[in-house]
């Protein structure tokens, strides 16, 4: 993409309405714009990151679940059947259509998926079943704030598992547990699983996945030894091992403020390992057995011919929220520092002198090379000062920045600067091409 | 994907509520399920097709526009500014949030995009600009019917162009015109551009893109010579040529019933070329100048320092509707016949005798081979009769069906049957592998 044609309305000053780093930086870097309280439009740069995150989630979820897509608007009827119609209070946006029929904008999908299951699955042969979708949800927060971190319309990945009996359901839960560790790891985040309350979803087993960030919404008490746990490579067919790895992960003490108990913390964690930090919730697992399958009649015929209500769990990830969460973890005083796995562009090209024939020729050549290699690149080809270009490229956080100016060209030198640590490498053109050709191999 | 684990609830009988072929076949092939009047969930098979179509549209649109994503929920304020708040009547779903603030579920996005433009673009340097998004819309149809063809919640691609002056705006319109011809062609459809009314969108130039289908909603009168026009390979930088090709395409007489005029038809089309058919609208172009830019203050400073309201157009494609439209064109008495470009799976494997060791071994090998080649495949590995498997594979329309049974195996022969025409080829295993290895090259 060439910057001169790109819809990237960056802002120099900090917007006064933004109270946290991620909100400030998402506005300043032209990723989002608010259209109504807690409701945002995603501009090209922001949408690229959102889609990268969505892509990582999809690749991992496809290993253990099947993707479907439920609508945003639901019938209130099924919520009355499950008994949850009033559980979300005013956070649930409900309204009537032209025929006076009551509808709502889904804040979550337990009812609808259970309804789909009950109308389409009749036999044990179809189980286990795990279905997920990535769809916009709406929760009418009383005070939307912090940008996409606590918006009203937000993108969520939610999966739903259906099993016969609790043991199988817990195995599905555990698969999702490990799948989540991998997802957050691939996004570049260290996520801690934390025992959690179940709230209006219900059930008796639940974990939140929390990432540590200085301005996180809640306090997290944890055994810091958990930070040394490696992210396991998982064979989802090896059930025994799956349960074993989850047991290992859940053996560490972790609690957010609402579940924290000082006595337990002190008893189960050695003093040198007791850590307290702030965290952001990015995922949530629930096991709730037959809470929805009974009222919504999700039953199957077992191998033995018996009629059995299925045991279920649900599993959410805040996709749009993750964009903000990553920024809250990866930023400095210049702007965002994207991990490469979700960077909107892997490479930036900064032309220090746009009207210099030689500079332009070299920039265009490198731009073509990167494009042909399938390496995403943003080339700042505007007639602007070097200072403006450098500041913007840092603000929007492009990980690998190629800088080209007349002085370097005359010496046959091209600079590559890493956003992460500011380190610089110097290359001749042919060395640079060699480096780029092997870039994907090295990563 | 192995069929035994796949959530594919196919139905043998025709559902009584479905009045047209595409609706019947989408229900029978387990692609969608209705959750409320005119509101559907997309099950795995249906979602795959929807995403294929979305992917083709995205690839083409990216050549001339930048992708963004606006929210589903909009503020009614901007609709009052444009003067359109009442134009959609009861089709617009509007409601109040917990703070009694009036919101609506967007039926289209002219207001919101113009608002974004006005707040972020100030200079002629940023023009021309063309932004598109692919997002769910809601129109509260009085009688939702025909499945996804006239649903209430539907997926639409809508693009918006911003230019200085009418000539530039018409060039943007014409680029989109040709882009649409390519999109529908790649999906496998022959689309006729037809002069159209502008309705609540407004403006003075508009074309619908109509595909011919026996059960189309409107009558189309056209010069059949247009069917011989090739789909041009476009260089979007060659403005002169773009306008020339569009002039050629629009020189043919085409009209839907509401614009039809017998005198014009007879005068401009030779008798042997006068054709009448039924058609489905799948795309719509609008040029409406300053209808939105003036009330919503979308102005820029020109090169000469003048303040100018931008000239705009908008361009829609019914993405979810296209799934139904393709089926209405490509079906027979056995079911759907997907064009390869949007088929949910390119290949099917039917194992006639699941418990036969040799059959299973060969099927698994072919399944692995196809997966490794990146060719999508659905392997029916269930313990069901050959008849049930054959009927389902035809119903869901898999284009290339590999059939394996003990008789063939004993003779070293594997059958490949093409869904399109029922033609069969026989291969030895090594011939088949050779054919598959070269499949993408040949297509």
For residue B208, give the 3-state DSSP assignment. strand
Helix (H, G, I), strand (E, B) or coil at B12: coil
Please name the helix (run of DSSP H) or strand (run of DSSP E) that holds residue A207, with its range, or none: strand A205-212
- Cα atoms in the Cβ-side hemisphere of radius 13 Å centred on B181: 22
d(Cα A356, Cα A163) in Å, to the nearest integer? 66
Rounded to whole angstroms, the Cα distance separating B193 from B206 reads: 10
pLDDT level of residue B1 (50, 70, 90 thresholds): very high
* Residues B124, B125, B128, B129, CA torsion sign: negative
Query: For helices A21-28 and A319-329, what crossing angle results, to 10°?
Result: 100
- The model's pLDDT over B228-245, given as tens digits with 9 standing for 90+, comes to 998 888 999 999 999 999
Mean pLDDT across chain B, nearest whole number?
96
| Nearest chain B CA: its distance from A42 CA (Å) | 5
Taking Cα atoms as reference points, which of A217, A230, A331, A212 lies closest to residue A275? A212
Peptide bond into A128 cis (omega under 30): yes
Instruction: State the average pLDDT for chain A.
Output: 96
pLDDT in tens, B94-110: 999 999 999 999 999 99
ipTM entry: 0.96
Distance between CA B438 and CA A385 in Å, rounded?
51
Taking phi over 0 as left and psi of -120 to 50 as alpha, with beta for the rest, A165 belongs to left
Q: Please judge whether A98 and B140 are an interchain contact, meaning their C-beta atoms are less than 8 angstroms apart.
A: yes
Contact between A152 and B73 using a beta-carbon 8 Å cutoff: yes
Q: Give all strands (DSSP E) within A228-323, no chain letters.
A: 254-256, 274-289, 299-301, 307-309, 311-318
3-state secondary structure of A259: coil
B412: left (phi over 0), alpha (psi -120 to 50) or beta: left
Please, what is the end-to-end C-alpha distance for chain A in angstroms?
22
Average pLDDT over residues B118-127: 96
Short-list B316, B285, B64, B279, CA closest to B191: B279
**Confidence at residue B200, expressed as pLDDT on a 0 to 100 scale:** 78
A80-92: per-residue pLDDT in tens? 999 999 999 999 9
Chain B nearest-CA distance from A267, in A, is 45
Distance CA A274, CA A272 (A): 6
CATH of A3-335, picked from 1.10.260.40, 3.60.20.10, 3.30.930.10, 3.20.20.100, is 3.30.930.10
Q: What is the pLDDT of residue A196?
A: 82
DSSP H helices, B224-335, are: 239-250, 262-268, 319-329
Is there a contact between A70 and B44 if contact means CB atoms under 8 Å apart? Answer: no
The CATH number that domain A345-442 falls under is 3.40.50.800
Partner residue opposite B43 with nearest CB, options A4, A41, A68: A68
Q: Which residue do the tokens 């590559």 mark?
A: A416
* CA–CA distance, B157 with B180 (Å, rounded to integer): 11
The 10s digit of each residue's pLDDT in B371-423 is: 999 999 999 999 999 999 999 999 999 999 999 999 999 999 999 999 999 99
The contacts of residue B256 (CB under 8 Å, 6+ apart) are: B194, B196, B208, B210, B218, B219, B220, B221, B279, B281
The answer to whether the CB of B308 falls within 8 A of the CB of B260 is no
The 10s digit of each residue's pLDDT in B260-316 is: 999 999 999 999 999 999 999 999 999 999 999 999 999 999 999 999 999 999 999
**If you ran DSSP here, which 8-state letter would residue A150 be given?**
B
Can you give the pLDDT at residue B259?
Answer: 87
Nearest-Cα residue of chain A relative to residue B39: A71
Which residue in A has a C-alpha nearest to residue B114's C-alpha? A35
Q: Which residues, other chains included, contact B221 with Cβ-Cβ below 8 Å and sequence gap of 6+?
A: B253, B254, B255, B256, B257, B260, B265, B274, B275, B276
pTM over 0.90: yes
Q: What is the pLDDT of residues A368-421, one digit of tens each?
A: 999 999 999 999 999 999 999 999 999 999 999 999 999 999 999 999 999 999
Tell me the CA distances in angstroms from A338 to A134, A324, A344, one per residue in order: 23, 11, 8
CB hemisphere CA count around B232 (13 angstroms): 20
Quickly tell me which residue has 């920045």 as its tokens: A401
Distance from CA of A191 to the nearest CA of B (A): 28
Cis amide prior to B128 (ω within 30 degrees): yes
Mean pLDDT of A2-13: 96
Say if the Cβ atoms of B69 and A103 lie within 8 Å. no
d(CA A23, CA A43): 14
- Chain B: give the shortest CA distance to residue A39, in Å: 7
How distant is the alpha carbon of residue A265 from its chain centre? 29
For chain B, report the end-to-end CA distance as a whole number of angstroms. 22
Q: Does residue A443 register a pLDDT over 80?
A: no
- Are B7 and A101 inside 8 Å of each other by CB? no
- pLDDT, average across residues B129-138: 98
Does residue A136 sit in helix, strand or coil? strand
Give the minimum alpha-carbon distance from A302 to chain B in angstroms, rounded to a whole number.
Answer: 16
Strand partners, A307: A301
Closest to B362 in 3D by CA, of B353, B400, B389, B436:
B353
Percent of chain B with pLDDT over 90: 93
Put simply, the answer to whether A42 touches B69 (Cβ < 8 Å) is yes
Q: Of the candidates A323, A318, A345, A392, which has an alpha carbon nearest to the alpha carbon of residue A22?
A: A323
| b/e per residue B149-169 (b: at least 16 CB within 10 A) | bbbbbbbbbbbbbbbbeeebb
Say whether pLDDT at B47 is over 80.
yes
Q: Please tell me the predicted confidence (pLDDT) of residue B202.
A: 76
* Chain pair A-B, CB pairs under 8 angstroms: 140
Q: Closest Cα to residue B348, out of B396, B402, B389, B415?
A: B402
Question: What is the reported pLDDT for B442?
Answer: 63
Tell me the pLDDT band of A215, cut-offs 50, 70 and 90. Answer: confident
Instruction: Find, among A439, A387, A386, A429, the residue nearest to A409 by Cα.
Output: A429
Q: Which of A39, A98, A116 sits opposite B71 (nearest CB)?
A: A39
Same fold, A3-335 and A345-442: no
Average pLDDT estimate for A259-286: 95
Residues B201/B110, Cβ–Cβ less than 8 Å: yes
Alpha-carbon gap, residue A365 to A369, rounded angstroms: 6
Domain segments of chain A: what residues?
3-335, 345-442
More reliable by pLDDT, B92 or A215: B92
Q: d(Cα A426, Cα A114) in Å, to the nearest integer?
A: 58
Burial code (b: 16+ CB inside 10 Å, e: under 16) for A138-147 equals bbbbeebebb
In this structure, are residues A246 and A229 in contact, taking their beta carbons and an 8 Å threshold? no
CB-based contact B75 A35, cutoff 8 Å: yes
Is the pLDDT confidence value at B443 over 90? no
Chain A residues with CB-CB distance to B136 below 8 A: 71-72, 136
Torsion of CA B59, B65, B68, B72, to 10 degrees: -90
Per-residue 3-state assignment (H helix, E strand, C coil) for B263-277: HHHHHHCCHHHEEEE
User: What are the residues whose beta carbons fall under 8 Å from the beta carbon of A140, sequence distance 6 or more?
Assistant: A90, A91, A92, A93, A152, B97, B98
d(CA B13, CA A49) in angstroms, rounded, equals 45
CB contact under 8 A, A71 and B97: no
Interface contact A120-B66, CB threshold 8 A: no
Per-residue pLDDT for A332 more than 60?
Answer: yes
The predicted structure's pLDDT at residue A258: 85
Shortest Cα distance from A426 to chain B (angstroms)? 34
Task: Give contacts of A70 with chain B, Cβ < 8 Å.
Answer: 35, 41-42
**Spatial contact of A107 and A138, defined as CB atoms under 8 Å apart:** yes
Going by pLDDT thresholds of 50, 70 and 90, the confidence category of residue A442 is: low
**Segment A339-377, tens digit of pLDDT:** 999 999 999 999 999 999 999 999 999 999 999 999 999
Please tell me the predicted confidence (pLDDT) of residue A203. Answer: 79
Q: Contact A140/B97, CB-based, under 8 Å?
A: yes
Instruction: Calculate how close chain A gets to B285, using CA atoms only, in Å.
Output: 22
Q: Does B39 sit within 8 Å of A68, measured CB to CB?
A: no
Average pLDDT over residues A321-329: 98
As given in the structure block, the two tokens for residue A343 are 């960077």
SS3 category, B281? strand
**Long-range contacts at B234-242 (CB < 8 A, ≥ 24 apart):** B234/B175, B234/B178, B234/B179, B234/B182, B236/B63, B236/B64, B236/B175, B239/B171, B242/B171, B242/B174, B242/B175, B242/B178
Are the beta carbons of A93 and B95 separated by less than 8 Å?
yes
Query: Taking a C-beta distance cutoff of 8 angstroms, is the pair A31, A42 a contact?
Result: yes
* Tally of helices (H runs) and strands (E runs) in chain A: 13, 23
Mean pLDDT of A139-158: 96
Average the pLDDT over A26-51 and give the result.
98
Residue B37 burial (C-beta neighbours within 10 Å; 0-12, 13-18, 19+): middle
């Amino acid at each position: 993409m060439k910057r001169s044609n790109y819809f990237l309305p960056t802002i120099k000053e900090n917007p006064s309405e933004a109270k946290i780093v991620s909100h400030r930086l998402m506005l300043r870097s032209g990723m989002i714009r608010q259209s109504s309280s807690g409701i945002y439009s995603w501009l090209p740069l922001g949408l690229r990151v959102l889609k990268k995150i969505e892509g990582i989630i999809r690749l991992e979820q496809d290993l253990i679940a099947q993707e479907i897509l439920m609508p945003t608007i639901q019938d209130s009827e099924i919520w009355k059947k499950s008994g949850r119609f009033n559980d979300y209070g005013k956070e649930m946006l409900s309204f009537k259509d032209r025929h006076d029929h009551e509808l709502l904008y889904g804040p979550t999908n337990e009812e609808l998926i259970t309804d789909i299951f009950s109308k389409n699955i009749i036999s044990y042969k179809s189980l286990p079943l795990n279905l997920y979708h990535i769809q916009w949800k709406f929760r009418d927060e009383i005070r939307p704030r912090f940008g996409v971190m606590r918006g009203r319309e937000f993108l969520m990945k939610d999966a739903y598992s259906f099993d016969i009996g609790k043991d199988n359901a817990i195995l599905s839960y555990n698969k999702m547990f490990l799948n989540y560790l991998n997802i957050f790891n691939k996004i570049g985040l260290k996520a801690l699983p934390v025992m959690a309350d179940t709230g209006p979803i219900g059930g008796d087993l639940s974990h939140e996945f929390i990432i540590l960030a200085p301005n996180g919404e809640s306090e997290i008490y944890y055994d810091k030894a958990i930070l040394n746990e490696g992210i396991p490579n998982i064979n989802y067919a090896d059930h025994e091992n799956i349960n074993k790895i989850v047991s290992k992960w859940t053996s560490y003490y972790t609690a957010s403020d609402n579940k924290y108990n000082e006595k337990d913390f002190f008893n189960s964690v050695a003093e040198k390992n007791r850590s307290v930090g702030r965290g952001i919730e990015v995922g949530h697992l629930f096991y709730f057995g037959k809470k929805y399958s009974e009222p919504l009649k999700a039953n199957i015929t077992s191998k033995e011919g018996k009629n059995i209500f299925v045991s279920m769990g649900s599993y959410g990830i805040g996709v749009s929220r993750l964009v903000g969460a990553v920024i809250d973890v990866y930023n400095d005083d210049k702007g965002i520092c994207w991990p490469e796995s979700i960077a909107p562009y892997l490479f930036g090209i900064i032309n220090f002198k746009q009207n210099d024939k030689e500079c332009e020729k070299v920039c265009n050549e490198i731009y073509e090379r990167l494009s042909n290699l399938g390496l995403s690149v943003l080339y700042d080809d505007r007639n602007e000062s070097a200072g403006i270009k450098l500041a913007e490229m840092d603000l929007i956080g492009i990980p690998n920045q190629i800088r080209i100016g007349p002085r370097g060209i005359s010496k046959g030198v091209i600079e590559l600067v890493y956003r992460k640590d500011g380190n610089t490498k110097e290359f001749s053109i042919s060395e640079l091409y060699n480096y780029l050709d092997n870039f994907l191999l090295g990563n």
